[in-house]
Amino acid sequence: MTDCIFCKIAAGEIPTEKIFEDDNVVAFPDINPVAPVHVIIIPKRHFATTLDMSDEAPELFGSLMKAASDTARKKGIDGSGFRLIFNTNADGGQEIFHVHMHLLGGEPIGRMRER
């Protein structure tokens, strides 16, 4: 999709460190990390939200999980642990409308609090 920053990263038009890549998925460092390890994992195909990808290509969630596991092992945080997050639409805090998974680790990630 034109003017989608993550499509440009997937196409190699914006250079980044590719931590993982296969036919369907790319993983690269978050530009504003919130943890010592903060990796963004995207499908190469453009879907605005998890809702769209669930409808059109749900199997790609498996590809994202495989990339997350591979990345966690590569970064040496498979044993210490990590958190995977998808933000969807406004209340989910989604800012970039190309489906992406956040992989966070390298230190204890804060517990989710009761409201």
Residue 95 binds ligand AMP, judged by CB under 6 A: yes
Residue 46 binds Zn ion, judged by CB under 5 A: yes
User: 14: which DSSP letter?
Assistant: S
- As to burial, measured by CB atoms within 10 angstroms (0-12 exposed, 13-18 middle, 19+ buried), residue 78 is middle
The Cα–Cα gap between 25 and 28 comes to: 10
Using CA atoms, how far residue 108 sits from 18, 34, 82, 103, in Å, is 25, 12, 8, 13
We find the least distance from the C-beta atom of residue 20 to Zn ion, in angstroms, to be: 18
Nearer to ligand AMP by Cβ, of 77 and 99: the residue is 99
Residue 38 known to be catalytic: no
Nearer to Zn ion by Cβ, of 5 and 85: the residue is 5
Pattern of binders to Zn ion over 9-28, x per CB under 5 A?
--------------------
Pick one of ligand AMP, Zn ion, none as the site partner of residue 1 (Cβ within 5 to 8 A by kind). Answer: Zn ion
The Cα–Cα gap between 62 and 94 comes to: 21
Residue 4 binds Zn ion, judged by CB under 5 A: yes
We find the least distance from the C-beta atom of residue 49 to ligand AMP, in angstroms, to be: 10
Q: By C-alpha distance, which of 82, 87, 42 is closest to 61?
A: 42
Positions marked catalytic: 100
